[in-house]
Each structure stands twice: as C-alpha cells, then as structure tokens.
C-alpha cells in the first residue's frame, strides 16, 4: 500500500506542474501521510531520530503546498476576475 501511495502522489506532483489543483491535492495527501507516519512512530515509542525522515519529508510537502501550489492557484484565480471587480470588498 505504501508504494502505491508514494507513486500516486509523485505522479500527482508532476501533474501539478500543469494542473495545480492536482498538485495541491497531492501535496496535501503527502502532508497527511507523513504526519500519520510521525504519529505512528510516536505511538510505537520510537526515538525522535526515527521520525526525523518523515518529519523532513512532511515539512517539504507542506512547503511545496504553501509556497508553490497555493500561490499559483491564487494567481490563476485573480487573472479570471475582471479588472473592475478585483478590489471590491
């Protein structure tokens, strides 16, 4: 199951270069996946060093989501709004 999740999210991230909503969903799924991995490491009583790779990869997925995909989607949305309506509160 884990290889399927990793392959499908990798494909989603690559597809996100053209379709940002797919990339956003893949990034969010990776954040959830690695958050669960860290939680399971804690439940198992593992040392914090064991959870470090999952923590780093989850943080990387979160940064990708927040710094790349969300601004890209917001930029595309702002282009669709007519000029006279952009600053209306």
What pTM was estimated for this model as a whole?
A: 0.78
Q: Where are the domains of the chain?
A: 2-80
**Residue-wise pLDDT tens for the chain (89 aa)?**
788 988 998 899 999 888 989 999 999 999 999 999 999 999 999 999 999 999 999 999 999 989 988 888 888 877 776 666 556 55
What's 42's DSSP letter? Answer: H
Cα separation of 5 and 30, whole Å?
Answer: 9
Burial of 71: CB neighbours in 10 Å, binned 0-12, 13-18, 19+:
exposed
Residue among 3, 14, 10 nearest 30 (CA) = 10
């Amino acid at each position: 199951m884990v290889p399927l999740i990793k392959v499908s999210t990798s494909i989603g991230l690559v597809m996100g270069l053209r379709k940002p909503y797919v990339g956003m969903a893949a990034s969010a799924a990776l954040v959830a996946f690695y958050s669960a991995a860290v939680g399971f490491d804690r439940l198992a009583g593992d040392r914090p060093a064991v959870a470090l790779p999952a923590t780093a990869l989850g943080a990387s997925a979160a940064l990708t989501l927040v710094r790349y995909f969300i601004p890209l989607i917001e930029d595309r949305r702002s282009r669709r709004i007519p000029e006279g309506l952009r600053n209306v509160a």
